[in-house]
Structure 1
Amino acid sequence: MGEQDPSDRLRGDQPKETKENGVASFSQFSSSVRTMVRIRQKYLAMKKRRLEIAAVSSQSFGSSRSTSPKVFTFDNLYEPVTSNPLLSPRKRKKKRKGRVLYPSNSLRAVPTKESSRAKSCLYLLFVIVFLQIYNAIENLDDHVLKYDLEGLEKTIKREVFGQQEVTERLLGHLHDYLSTYVHNKPLVLSFHGPSGVGKSHVGRLLAQHFRSVVGDELVMQYFVLHHCPTDDDIPQCTKSLDSQVSEIVTQAEESEKIPVFIFDEVEHMPRELLDTLRDLIHSQNNNEYLNAIYILISNLGHEDITKFVLHNSSVSVSGRLSLSQELTPWLRSYLQGHHMLFLEAEFLPFMLLEKSHVMECFIDEMSREGFYPDRPHVERLAEELSYYIIGEQEFSQTGCRQVVAKVNLL
């Protein structure tokens, strides 16, 4: 077949309705001419945006049966007009603007996610704070290790019987205080209880332990009846006590260690010595006085402690362990009335010892003296002591005080 004439092709593309009705009317023809003129003017005005107009015109005027190229031409400009001749000119003016679409052969640019420098600085700050806290904790552990509290705990548990709660609280106070060197006040611990329950023995163990870790010069063990036996010696005793404590705390400040002062038989200490000791503990003149440990040992209030323990002896074992905590408020009010020295002290009341605890004291002492701790023999020795009998429980009236004398008679 030969090539078809363009005019014949245009006539062949006209809708069937037009062919059937004949030639279009004059008004329809003039409308098509005006439309072509407007499109021509628009093309001349938007010549620089030919690519976008081609995309829009391909979406607006293209059809499924169209075979025209994507480049804009005037060959088929009147097709949309003749395809729907009933459409009025006014409605053509209100044609909606088509959305600008991306070409199918290209990808839309995805916005890149920018990294914030502030977030990196925040992470760095977290790392620095973590290292500082970790370093502080390590320093605390290093400071405690110098005093070997684990060794002290083993010694106390091996040689002190029937005072589990008191020893745990004592070690807890020492660990908290020795974790750092700088303090706002000294640590004051006050031991109270009847004779023979282990108060002085714990004091001797503490003195022996701290002499081995901080040195003999930073530990002072003061026995009132030995260092100040008469009332005439009180003025000299006060001056000597003041100078000794001042010298020790100054030396401890130079070596960056915490000194320990142990005062036994505090119930025999005259009021002048109590006032001097209180001024040393509450001294605000120098910081070295704030870094020290004071241990006060006395039997003040021992009668009331004995009555309290015997009255509550029917409580279960788990309840007995809290008797020292129940005694603490009463001891605080009682001892503050005795002297203001006990105003800020931590009270550790020692309980009565049961018969089983006394037997443990006999076994330990006999082992030290080289005797074989025969169980029947130990029971016979324990029977020779006096006890408070409350139901099925037996509490020693003298604790372990007479144990050493009994073993020496063997």
Structure 2
Amino acid sequence: MELSDQDSSSASASVTEEELEGDMDEEVEGEEEEEEDSNDKHRSSPAPSLSSFSSSLRAVIRIKQKYQAMKKRRQELALSMGGAGGLTGAPSRTSPKIFTFDPSAFPALTSSVAQKKKKRRRRRVLFPNSGGPRAPPKQEQSRAKYCLYLLFAIVFIQVYNAIENLDDHVLRYDLEGLEKTLRREVFGQQGAVEGLLSHLKDYLSTYVHNKPLVVSLHGPSGVGKSHLGRLLAGHFRSVVGETLVLQYYVLHHCPQEADALQCARNLSTIISEMVERAEEEEKIPLFIFDEAEHMHSEILDALWQLVASKQSNEYLNAIYLFLSNLGHAHITKHMLHNSSSISMAMSASGRHSNLVKELTPILRNILEKLHLLWTEADILPLGLLEKSHVMECFLDEMTREGFYPDHSNIERLAGEIQYYPAVGGHEYSQTGCKQVVAKVNLL
């Protein structure tokens, strides 16, 4: 409340002062107008006189007296207002005796003005000297982006060169020629041929490996296991050399079981020499073990040590191919019992994929019980041959021997082969193409 009374008293004092100043200004202006009128009259006279000078002096004195009277009257009015405020308990107002524009006399006014100035300063927006609103800054492109582009280009070139090198490494082994040979001379096993070629392409696409390639082909007698091994051996001899291909027949190289330990040592020595030679020539050797079902446990142990243990890099860059009739009874039984469910429109690769999918777990369980070597191998089952496949075998053998390929004669010879009872439109041979050569030689 004290602050509000003080403000009201100060406001009323400022109002009276403004009124007094306005009256004083009006009187002064009136005196000045009169003086100007008198001066105009004197100017209109042709020559100034002493009386005109004395009248102007008197006007000045009179203006001064009026100003002093007005000033005195204003002071008395201020004193009277101060006394009235003291009676009501309001603080007395002290005003300067001399009119001044000192800002310290009006603290509230100065504080409000200062706040307004601060607000104006805060709202002020500075623009460049060029004038107009400032344009948004342009985003500068980082130089690191060009380094990133360069890195992408280098990586692309490296990958492209690596792919080219892989292609060159595969071309060295001429897998396309091998595929053509196997498709032309292996009958009824197109699915197995595709699986074998897939393993070879994946492995031969590079020279550095973390394990050797071990493939085990299983099937009944006469389905083309040994024939497939001979074709692979002949092809690899032509591309990597005679010294880097080994065909090992257990019944020929180690017929006596008493010599199994010495045979295992000799086999390990031969394999070590071949892999060292292949490492020097930067090639991959091929080891083919036919009739693996007759291999002694000592030989299997030696081979398992070479396949499973990571002795050095040269032992990792090798291909081991095992050919055997282990599990042939399960393959025969599966094909005879499931032939009716196999669609005739299904391709050979489709039938073989189903055969591998269903027979691989069964064969693996049987083989792993025989020896640990089969745990490191990729198993590929070979199916039974049909009568049409046997006729193709007769045609190929008669052409090789120089006989005229008479279709009626071929059909007659194929009819002399023993077959299983027809199942689902399929007539499978019991001996495959095993008797084809003997029958052609009798012609």
Which is further off, 140-149 or 272-281?
A: 272-281
Residue 151 of structure 2: aligned partner: 125
**1:101 Cα deviation (Å)?**
9.4
**1:179 Cα deviation (Å)?**
1.0
CA contact (8 A) 1:324 1:351 kept: no
In structure 1, C-alpha distance between the alignment counterparts of 2:139 and 2:322, rounded to whole Å: 69
- Of 342, 347, 356, 2:374 maps to 342
Superposed CA deviations along residues 326-385 of structure 1, whole A, max 9, x for unmatched, are 101111110010111111100011000111111111111122222222222211111111
Residue 392 of structure 1: aligned partner: 425
> Is 1:203 aligned to 2:217, yes or no?
no
Q: For the pair shown, which has the larger CA radius of gyration, 1 or 2? A: 2
Q: What amino acid is aligned across from residue 383 of structure 1 in structure 2?
A: G
**1:180 Cα deviation (Å)?**
1.1
Residue 320 of structure 1: aligned partner: 351
In structure 2, C-alpha distance between the alignment counterparts of 1:100 and 1:173, rounded to whole Å: 75
Which SS does the other structure have where 1:396 is aligned? coil
Superposed CA deviations along residues 125-174 of structure 1, whole A, max 9, x for unmatched, are 21122222222222111111111111100000000111111111100000
Q: What amino acid is aligned across from residue 185 of structure 1 in structure 2?
A: K
Residue 190 of structure 2: aligned partner: 164
CA contact (8 A) 1:259 1:291 kept: yes
Aligned 1:207-246 pairs, distance under 5 A:
207-246=233-272
Aligned 1:278-357 pairs, distance under 5 A:
278-317=304-343, 318=346, 320-321=351-352, 322-357=354-389
In structure 2, C-alpha distance between the alignment counterparts of 1:177 and 1:368, rounded to whole Å: 34
CA contact (8 A) 2:340 2:425 kept: no
| TM-align CA RMSD | 2.7
In structure 2, C-alpha distance between the alignment counterparts of 1:168 and 1:157, rounded to whole Å: 9
Residue 173 of structure 1: aligned partner: 199
Aligned 1:18-37 pairs, distance under 5 A:
none
Unpaired runs of 5+ in structure 2? 1-20, 26-112
Aligned residues: 327
TM-score after normalising by structure 2: 0.68
**1:393 Cα deviation (Å)?**
1.7
Aligned 1:46-65 pairs, distance under 5 A:
none
In structure 2, C-alpha distance between the alignment counterparts of 1:377 and 1:274, rounded to whole Å: 45
> Is 1:409 aligned to 2:435, yes or no?
no
Q: 1:109 to 1:374 in 2, by over 3 A?
A: farther
CA contact (8 A) 1:186 1:294 kept: yes
In structure 2, C-alpha distance between the alignment counterparts of 1:239 and 1:109, rounded to whole Å: 89
Q: What amino acid is aligned across from residue 423 of structure 2 in structure 1?
A: I
Unpaired runs of 5+ in structure 1? 1-25, 31-92
Aligned 1:365-380 pairs, distance under 5 A:
365-380=397-412
In structure 1, C-alpha distance between the alignment counterparts of 2:274 and 2:407, rounded to whole Å: 47
In structure 1, C-alpha distance between the alignment counterparts of 2:125 and 2:301, rounded to whole Å: 96
Residue 360 of structure 1: aligned partner: 392
Identity of aligned residues (%): 66
- Of 282, 285, 294, 1:268 maps to 294
Residue 165 of structure 2: aligned partner: 139
Which SS does the other structure have where 1:395 is aligned? coil
Q: 1:231 to 1:127 in 2, by over 3 A?
A: same
Q: What amino acid is aligned across from residue 394 of structure 1 in structure 2?
A: E
**1:242 Cα deviation (Å)?**
1.4
CA contact (8 A) 2:215 2:377 kept: yes
In structure 2, C-alpha distance between the alignment counterparts of 1:185 and 1:108, rounded to whole Å: 71
CA contact (8 A) 1:258 1:291 kept: yes
Higher helix share: 2
In structure 2, C-alpha distance between the alignment counterparts of 1:146 and 1:201, rounded to whole Å: 23
In structure 2, C-alpha distance between the alignment counterparts of 1:261 and 1:311, rounded to whole Å: 35
**1:182 Cα deviation (Å)?**
1.3
Superposed CA deviations along residues 161-214 of structure 1, whole A, max 9, x for unmatched, are 111111111000001111111111111100100011011111001100000000
Aligned 1:80-95 pairs, distance under 5 A:
none
Which is further off, 231-240 or 253-262?
A: 231-240
TM-score after normalising by structure 1: 0.74
Which SS does the other structure have where 1:295 is aligned? strand
CA contact (8 A) 2:387 2:429 kept: yes
Aligned 1:92-103 pairs, distance under 5 A:
none
CA contact (8 A) 2:191 2:351 kept: no
CA contact (8 A) 1:263 1:295 kept: yes
Which SS does the other structure have where 1:181 is aligned? coil
CA contact (8 A) 2:263 2:299 kept: yes
CA contact (8 A) 2:217 2:379 kept: yes
CA contact (8 A) 1:187 1:292 kept: yes
In structure 1, C-alpha distance between the alignment counterparts of 2:355 and 2:138, rounded to whole Å: 70
CA contact (8 A) 1:313 1:320 kept: no
CA contact (8 A) 2:308 2:376 kept: no
CA contact (8 A) 2:307 2:376 kept: no
Which SS does the other structure have where 2:305 is aligned? helix
Q: 1:290 to 1:383 in 2, by over 3 A?
A: same
